[in-house]
Structure 1
Amino acid sequence: MTDTIIIGGSSGMGLALARTLLAEGTDVTIVGRSADRLATARAELERPGRGRVRTIAADLGREEDVAELFARVERVDHVAVTAADATGVYGRTADVATATARALVDTKLIGAWLVAKHAAGRVTGSITYTSGINAYRPNGANTIMAAANGALASLAYGLAVELAPVRVNVISPGWVDTPLWDQLGMDKKSAFAELAARLPARRVGTPDDIAQAFLSVMRNGFITGTVLHVDGGHRVT
């Protein structure tokens, strides 16, 4: 029996969630594509007196990897999916390579569906996905990411009915200071300062903010088929 599987748990929001759960004594399995990053995360997370941590290398965009992942798990309480790869997906639609767009959809949407397909019958509590503010506030330079993130809400609505009583939800972060921004080649410090001045929360998010949101839907047995927005008020600005 595994308490929680975090797919994308080797960095950013997933790593923050793993850190929080382990500190509480929860056993965690973190999943990612890079064996090196998984090893680094495990070295950081393993501490005496905490929950147990194990790592599994798998690619969310490959069905055989997802099937093998859940074949190794008899039962799991919760599955959280935070995996994302934004390399090459930002820019005008005319400038984004079709192969890049397909790869994003394979990971972000089809990968999420594959998790449900192969976790069904093994997960007992909840599945929680990660979308993002661009699904609700597109800016003209993130259209394919916005589309994939927006589709996760519909996926969760359908799965909440299909997999009941397993609960299925989506966390939709706003701008969060994670390593994902390093892939975008922008002046992160300046962009964050400009956005923070406009947000009602007056700051960008942290991975710990999102980890707490995950915990709230994982632990509340009456939340399902819901998108929880954790964006500092971005949608109302």
Structure 2
Amino acid sequence: MTDAMIIGGGSGMGLALARTLLAEGREVTIVGRSEDRLAAAAAELGQEDGKLGAMRADIGREEDVAELFARVGKVEHVAVTAADATGVYGPTADVPTQTARSFVDAKLLGAWLVAKHGAGRVTGSITYTSGINAYRPNGSNTIVAAANGALASLAYGLAVELAPVRVNVISPGWVDTPIWEQLAMDKRAAFTDLAARLPARRIGTPQDIAQAFTSVMANTFMTGAVLHVDGGHRLT
């Protein structure tokens, strides 16, 4: 049994969450598609006391998810932060259907597969990651907004179905993570512009989101909820 499994724990928000939980003395398993990225994350986390494990899996593939839970056995908390936005931004007419389908497979159906194969093995909570585009679509992220928005409904249904295991969603705003490198844009200029308009007056950090995850994991009266951690982005 492990205390927490972080799917997408090799970088960004997932890596920050792993660091936070390890600092609390938790046993953590990070999961990702890239063995090289997992190895780099493990080296960065620098755990030599047996509290950190790493497993390769693609949550868009059911056989990977089934094997993942078979190997890990019981796990108290599961956090899903995995995301790959390559090719899905742009006008709907320009996004290849297979690219959109692959994104939905990983983001939404992958989340469902985690619940399907985690049922009976997860003892505490499952927490998914959606995003601000579900609430503030901008005309170039429609399939991303749709998949992220659907995660809330998925969590509502699973919170009832899997009870007393708790199922929640963290919805970040703009956070400075490696996913921005997948987008064809001037990241610094965009960050500067948005930070000036946000009530929080800054862009989010992976640690901001990690703190939200740990609070949701700890709150045993919170289920079927979406926690917005967006610096007030929905208000602008």
Shorter chain as denominator, the TM-score bin is: over 0.9
- For residue 72 of structure 2, give the secondary structure of its aligned residue in structure 1: coil
Per-residue deviation, residues 68-123 of structure 1 (Å, max 9, x unmatched): 00011221000000000000000000000000000000000000000000000000
Q: Which residue of 2 aligns with 1:216?
A: 215
Written as runs of structure 1 = structure 2, the 5 A alignment for 1:1-237 is 1-47=1-47, 52-237=51-236
Q: Distance in 2 between matches of 1:210 and 1:161?
A: 25
Task: Tell me the TM-score normalised to structure 1 length.
Answer: 0.98
Asked if structure 2 preserves the Cα contact closer than 8 Å seen for 1:2 and 1:77, the reply is yes
2:120 is aligned with what amino acid?
Answer: G
Asked if structure 2 preserves the Cα contact closer than 8 Å seen for 1:170 and 1:228, the reply is yes
Alignment coverage as a number of residue pairs: 236
Per-residue deviation, residues 14-47 of structure 1 (Å, max 9, x unmatched): 0000000011110100000000000000111123
Q: Distance in 1 between matches of 2:48 and 2:183?
A: 37
Asked if structure 2 preserves the Cα contact closer than 8 Å seen for 1:46 and 1:52, the reply is no
Asked if structure 2 preserves the Cα contact closer than 8 Å seen for 1:167 and 1:223, the reply is yes
Q: Distance in 2 between matches of 1:45 and 1:9?
A: 11
- For residue 169 of structure 1, give the secondary structure of its aligned residue in structure 2: strand
Q: Distance in 1 between matches of 2:215 and 2:95?
A: 36
Asked if structure 2 preserves the Cα contact closer than 8 Å seen for 1:81 and 1:128, the reply is yes
Give, in angstroms, the shift of residue 185 of structure 1.
1.8
Q: Distance in 1 between matches of 2:232 and 2:56?
A: 35
- For residue 171 of structure 2, give the secondary structure of its aligned residue in structure 1: strand
Per-residue deviation, residues 35-68 of structure 1 (Å, max 9, x unmatched): 000000011112356x711100000100000000
1:7 is aligned with what amino acid?
Answer: I
Q: Distance in 1 between matches of 2:70 and 2:235?
A: 43
Asked if structure 2 preserves the Cα contact closer than 8 Å seen for 1:85 and 1:180, the reply is yes
- For residue 204 of structure 2, give the secondary structure of its aligned residue in structure 1: coil
Regions of 4+ moved over 4 Å: none
Per-residue deviation, residues 182-201 of structure 1 (Å, max 9, x unmatched): 00021100000000000000
Q: Distance in 2 between matches of 1:47 and 1:64?
A: 29
Q: Distance in 1 between matches of 2:70 and 2:24?
A: 27
The runs of 5 or more residues in structure 2 that have no matched partner are none
Task: Tell me the TM-score normalised to structure 2 length.
Answer: 0.99
- For residue 214 of structure 1, give the secondary structure of its aligned residue in structure 2: helix
- For residue 55 of structure 1, give the secondary structure of its aligned residue in structure 2: strand
Q: Distance in 1 between matches of 2:225 and 2:26?
A: 24
- For residue 235 of structure 1, give the secondary structure of its aligned residue in structure 2: helix
Q: Distance in 1 between matches of 2:154 and 2:52?
A: 29
Percent identity (aligned): 80
Per-residue deviation, residues 115-145 of structure 1 (Å, max 9, x unmatched): 0000000000000000000000000000000
Q: Distance in 1 between matches of 2:94 and 2:47?
A: 46
Q: Distance in 2 between matches of 1:58 and 1:133?
A: 26
- For residue 47 of structure 2, give the secondary structure of its aligned residue in structure 1: coil
- For residue 37 of structure 1, give the secondary structure of its aligned residue in structure 2: helix
